[in-house]
Structure 1
């Protein structure tokens, strides 16, 4: 898919931005600085927060999301690292796309330009779902920019299942129901995001956004073997995106430096279901040092 992502009308954009600003005011847990970073793909909104010293950490949300997807993780991660929390260009958020992102290499170029714009030479990358695919693209194409990669039920290890799109439709319908029914649907669908009223309102407003980003093509065996950065891959046992056992086995077999784990009793919304576990695993990875270049081993 190529083209430029945008809202269907100025009124729809205004409604979304109002919902975004309300949600940000209610949910964002720490002070920081919002910055609009120019790139060749458009202006990218980032939130700078957390420590002023130490190794930076970049947080990348999933498809249809925004930086607010990380609101339950920012305080703990920011206590240990300077954070760059991104609204991905081409997604409903405060970024404004101006050029097409045609494939993974374009995604890596965009992310490298964002890092340049905030003065970060290299960082720990953390990506959820589609954001995990983008993190892998930067690790593949710009390895010097990446210290570690933490992936939370990521795309990129297998083709996205048709079941995922059914899950999205069902979750969208559930978002329109009264809170009591929505809470029950969150359990049926294994989608804890439905229990976060602010994010639900934001998702409803985001329906008016036309997304034009590429489908996350699975990395080939050779591409995965070329990712020498230490990787943490957390797969949800009941993910709608992929078969957790198969993608975990593929990650463990092909990534040279990896800890691949299946989180039991979790769905694709792992980020919202188990924030403490996810945060602890991310911090544990970032505290490790990379092995010597070219050394094949498993991080644990």
Structure 2
């Protein structure tokens, strides 16, 4: 084992030890599908649950730092999206956002969550936006971090090209190869080695079928359209150094949602991993503001 591999292994062990405080769980839904998730149980009974949706190359475990920082006071849950971890894939091979949003609704029902603060990162923002547009009464606040807009409004040629490039990549590289090749793009030049190791760890654990379905979702989705239909509280944030969902692209989504864009300095695409203090503060402040929405129900 090289020195770099040794360091990475040690960093992963530390993060996995921290993650062990929030063990993987599974729940069987009425539709007979399974959803895997992780949870931190808060002590403040008047605080709304916080639900976290990961991106295309990640999973529930990626939110461990938010579990640690917020989970002591507020109930915090993060799922493995359909096709990730232990979660049953959606039925359609080329799904749309509504397919995932329907599973999200059923999962929240099974957990007894009628209303929550919903946070979506990257592809998770597409699912969060579709859910919020269809179930506004269940969302006290919608926070999107480096949201992917999808290619549903693009030409057929652009959609097909973007989709086929990702499908070819996962087929050729597999999850571990994907993690080695793509994880560097997720972070800024300011990211620590621990953050880089954690992004690789999560990406290496994606399941090829679930990633392929999520690739189709990305090609089919039009987040801006869903945000234009959602009338509830919403915030959008992006890292200044995000090269995947750039500040310029996120600005267009913010315009569609009618909300200002918050740009976080010295952060890349997976900002909540590389700059946890800043992003956790953004999430926590948004949650506290959203708790106040109860008075308007």
Into which bin does the TM-score normalised by the smaller protein fall? Answer: 0.7 to 0.9
Structure-2 separation of matches of 1:66 and 1:121: 23
Q: Give the whole-Å Cα distance in 2 for the aligned partners of 1:184 and 1:123.
A: 33
Residue of 26, 46, 53 corresponding to 1:60: 53
What corresponds to 1:251 in structure 2?
253
> Which runs of no fewer than 5 residues in structure 1 stay unpaired?
1-21, 294-300
Partner of 1:296: none
CA distance in 2, matches of 1:125, 1:269: 17
- CA gap of 1:236–1:45, structure 2 versus 1, over 3 A, is same
Q: 1:167 to 1:125 in 2, by over 3 A?
A: farther
Q: Which residue of 2 aligns with 1:88?
A: 81
TM-score by length of 2: 0.72
Question: TM-score normalized by structure 1?
Answer: 0.72
- Give the Cα–Cα distance (whole angstroms) in 2 for the partners of residues 185 and 142 of structure 1: 33
Residue range with higher mean Cα deviation, 71-80 or 233-242: 233-242
CA-based RMSD of the aligned residues comes to 3.9
Deviations 1:242-273 (A, max 9, x none): 3312422x2343324x3421122322121212
In structure 1, C-alpha distance between the alignment counterparts of 2:130 and 2:273, rounded to whole Å: 24
Structure 1 match to 2:200: 200
Structure showing the higher strand proportion among its residues: 1
**Distance (Å, rounded) in 1 between the aligned partners of 2:198 and 2:232:** 35
Contact 2:22 2:38 in 1 (8 A): no
Conserved? CA contact 2:236–2:260, under 8 Å: yes
Q: CA 1:192/1:245 → structure 2, altered by over 3 Å: closer, same or farther?
A: farther
Task: Tell me which residue corresponds to 2:274.
Answer: 273
| Equivalence for 1:219 | 223
CA contact (8 A) 1:57 1:124 kept: yes
Q: Deviations over 1:15-48 (max 9, x none)?
A: xxxxxxx898523164567232325483101223
Q: Structure 1: how far apart are the matches of 2:79 and 2:266? A: 29
2-side partners of 1:186 and 1:198: how far apart?
11
Structure-2 change in CA distance of 1:212 and 1:272 (3 Å) = same
Q: Which residue, out of 35, 44, 54, partners 2:35?
A: 44
- Structure 1 residue matching 2:77: 3-state secondary structure: strand
**Could you give the per-residue CA deviations for residues 145-195 of structure 1, whole angstroms, max 9, x where no partner exists?**
111111111112777996x969998x9769559xxxx99998777776874
Say if 2:188 and 2:269, in contact at 8 Å, map to a contact too.
no
* Change in CA separation of 1:41 and 1:203 when aligned onto 2, cut-off 3 Å: farther
SS in 1 for 2:283: helix
Call closer, same or farther: CA 1:186–1:255 in 2, change over 3 Å: closer
Change (3 A) 1:233 1:172: farther
Number of equivalenced pairs? 263
Gaps of 5+ in 2: 1-12
User: 1:192, 1:272 within 8 Å by CA — same for their partners in 2?
Assistant: no
Q: State the match for 1:134 in structure 2.
A: 127
Quick check: 34-43 or 117-126, which moved more?
A: 34-43
CA-to-partner distance for each residue in 1:70-110, whole Å, 9 max, x for gaps? 0111111212311121111122x121326237211222211
Pair 1:188–1:139, CA change in 2 (3 A): closer
Counterparts of 2:194 and 2:169, CA distance in 1 = 12
Determine if the alignment matches structure 1 residue 70 to structure 2 residue 56. no
